[in-house]
């Protein structure tokens, strides 16, 4: 059975990759935990199979990246009119950044995030023993 290791700044947590493994909790830790460093999967012989940290992956292992959507705002102009309420009108251009790719529409960015994370999840699931 393979073993997953979640590395935080001060400690490591070992996880059995069996029927009880929850992939959504792992993605939540990877994306939202500030102390998280990397996640690795080792086999019985202690050889690396998968990692989220690129320098650890040699030719033998698989590298995955779990992506997150980020909002980028750019103010294109401000109009001031003393006789209006509110007196200033701001024109804002919004971009959604996902792993270096830029999208104008949030729906397309969310679709891209879904498919990239699904691909990463399928790679992780290939090492999980669900029997």
pLDDT at 48 over 90: no
Task: Convert the pLDDT of each residue in 15-27 to its tens digit.
Answer: 988 888 899 999 9
Band of residue 46 on the pLDDT scale cut at 50, 70, 90: confident
Band of residue 55 on the pLDDT scale cut at 50, 70, 90: confident
- Specify the pLDDT at position 26: 93
Q: Which tokens go with 54?
A: 């690129």
Q: Which tokens go with 92?
A: 């804002």
Answering whether pTM is above 0.85, one says: no
56 vs 71, more confident: 71
pLDDT at 91 over 90: yes
Question: How far does Cα 2 stand from its chain's mean position?
Answer: 22
All residues at 6 or more sequence positions from 79 whose CB lies less than 8 Å from its CB, including other chains: 88, 89, 91
What one-character DSSP code corresponds to residue 97?
A: E
- Specify the pLDDT at position 61: 83
- What gap in Å lies between CA 33 and CA 10, rounded to an integer? 13
Q: Which residues pair with 117 in a beta bridge?
A: none
Q: List the chain domain ranges.
A: 3-65, 67-124
* Torsions phi, psi for 88 (to 5 deg): -115, 140
- Specify the pLDDT at position 56: 73
């Amino acid at each position: 059975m393979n073993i997953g290791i979640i590395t935080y700044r001060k400690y490591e947590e070992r996880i059995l990759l069996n029927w009880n493994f929850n992939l959504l909790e792992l993605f939540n830790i990877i994306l939202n935990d500030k102390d998280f460093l990397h996640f690795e999967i080792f086999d019985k012989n202690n050889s690396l199979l998968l990692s989220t940290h690129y320098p650890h992956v040699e030719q033998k292992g698989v590298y995955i990246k779990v992506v997150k959507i980020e909002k980028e705002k750019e103010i294109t102009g401000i109009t001031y009119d003393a006789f209006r309420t509110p007196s200033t009108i701001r024109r804002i251009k919004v971009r959604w950044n996902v792993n270096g790719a830029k999208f104008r529409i949030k729906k397309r960015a969310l679709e891209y995030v879904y498919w990239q994370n699904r691909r990463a999840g399928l790679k992780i699931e290939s090492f999980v023993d669900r029997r």
